[in-house]
Chain A
Amino acid sequence: MIIAIATTGDTLDSPCDPRFGRAGNFLLIDSDTEEIIDTIKNPNIASGGGAGISTSQMLANRGVNAVIAGAVGPNSFGVLDAAQIAMYSSAGFSTAKDAYSAFKSGELKRISNPGSAGRFH
């Protein structure tokens, strides 16, 4: 399985990024080998509306199976859900490593509802 963790930096010791669509970076971890297979600098940080959609599409097309982020907005939620990507909340965990170990031991909460709404005008 490929897990994408939203972080503000680019290592496992980096803090979790509470944002999803405009998260600074994503660490892609292969949960079978426990290896970081990629570090993606999110190109959508500065994008206007719909950043979450674009970020979701990017991760889906990288073959990601699960994302770990602070909260997921309604648009991102819709796309991740359509792509059958599971969503987990990193809220309460300080580093990517902490959140990842919690994920491995089944302690991370599934995000089953979109959080903070983003409205576009």
Chain B
Amino acid sequence: MIVSVASGKGGTGKTTVAVSLAISAAPIALVDSDVEEPNANILLRADHSTSRKASLPFPVIDMKKCDFCEKCSDFCAYNGIVVLKGLKVFAVPEICKSCGGCKIVCPQDAISEEPRDIGYIKFGERLGIQIVEGELNIGESSSTPLVRMLPDYFPSGRDVIVDCPPGAAHPTVESLRAADFVLLVTEPTPFGIHDLEEALVITDELNKKVGLVVNRADIGTSDIENLAIERNIPILMRIPFSTDIAEHYSRGHSPAEFSEYWREQFALLWQKIEEQVR
């Protein structure tokens, strides 16, 4: 079973929920697909046992063969390759989508591909949780390709919890694709509801089963509850804005690691998810 934990925006406690759930459901795999800012392991604190480079094929041009015909740059819809007549031809890393098209259209067979590193995939284990973390190199403009690679590294034979990138853009969509169930973490504020509705547009389109975790459930409005009833989405957990859990947050702890009570609560949440998927 693959459970993606997402939220319409950052700062809703998504990562804390993902890590706590993993601790309570271990043995399990936890995948951090928030590759621009991976922080699940700040909570889990596993040592990285191995890591590997993630790379994309990138066009390189043999100028001895090139006759500056511009077929490659005419072809590339992204303007990812530049032909400067008499001077040089080069692809632009920030723009090229590694589609391989220019290589095919080049009549002189002047274009080949070399791997271009875009980030890392790191592995570690602690508390019975195998963690797989994607980390995008600084300066890379798009995280989507790296997010799309991660399912290839999901450990086999274990359930998987995916900590998704915040927001409702491309990388989030990619991190939800493989999910059997999507857990949306939200807050009962007008912003929270707005972001939740955006996230629901994606999960509807991908035709995913969805459940809610309402964080800071005791403050703010009851509109979330109404929305849940209206849309027939189960609220699987309500986390109060208790001093107890706030203290764990402030120390950078997962509540489930240090509190018996929260470990049980998240175990219960896992059970409910299993029931929903069945």
Q: Which residues of A contact B (CB under 8 A)?
A: 47-51, 53-54, 56-57, 60-61, 74-75, 78-79, 82-84, 119-121
Contacts and interface: CB of A to CB of B under 8 A. Distances in A.
Contacts of B261: none
A84 B92 CA distance: 17
Q: Which 4 A-B pairs have the closest CB atoms?
A: A50-B79, A53-B79, A54-B79, A83-B84
A49 B92 CA distance: 12
SS class of chain B's interface: helix, strand, loop or mixed?
loop
Contacts of A48: 77-78
B86 to A, nearest CB: 9
B82 A79 contact: yes
B90 A49 contact: no
Nearest to B79: A50
B68 to A, nearest CB: 8
Interface in B166-216: 169-170
Contacts of B142: 120-121
Given A82-B88, A83-B87, A121-B141, A49 B82 contact: no
A48 B253 CA distance: 43
Given A47-B79, A121-B141, A121-B144, A53 B85 contact: no
B73 interface: yes
B80 interface: yes
Contacts of B79: 47, 49-51, 53-54
A50 B92 contact: yes
B95 interface: yes
Given A48-B78, A50-B78, A121 B84 contact: no
A53 B87 contact: no
SS class of chain A's interface: helix, strand, loop or mixed?
helix
Given A48-B78, A49-B79, A121-B142, A60 B92 contact: no
Nearest to A44: B79
B83 interface: yes
B169 A121 contact: yes
For chain B, the bracket of interface size reads 20 to 34
Contact of A53 (B95, B144, B169, B170): B95
A2 to B, nearest CB: 14
A120 B84 contact: no
A119 B142 CA distance: 9
A121 B170 contact: yes
B83 A120 contact: no
Contacts of B275: none
B85 A60 contact: yes
Nearest to A62: B85
B230 interface: no
15 contacts: A48-B77, A48-B78, A49-B95, A50-B78, A50-B92, A53-B82, A53-B92, A54-B73, A56-B82, A57-B84, A61-B83, A75-B94, A79-B92, A120-B94, A121-B142
A50 B77 CA distance: 9
Interface in B57-98: 70, 73, 77-80, 82-85, 87-88, 90, 92, 94-95
Residue of B83, B95, B144 with highest tally of chain A CB at under 10 A? B95
Contacts of B87: 60, 82-84
B84 A82 contact: yes
A120 B95 contact: yes
Contacts of B169: 121
A116 B241 CA distance: 41
A110 to B, nearest CB: 20
A50 B80 contact: yes
Contacts of B78: 48-50, 120
A29 to B, nearest CB: 21
A60 B86 CA distance: 10
Contacts of B88: 82
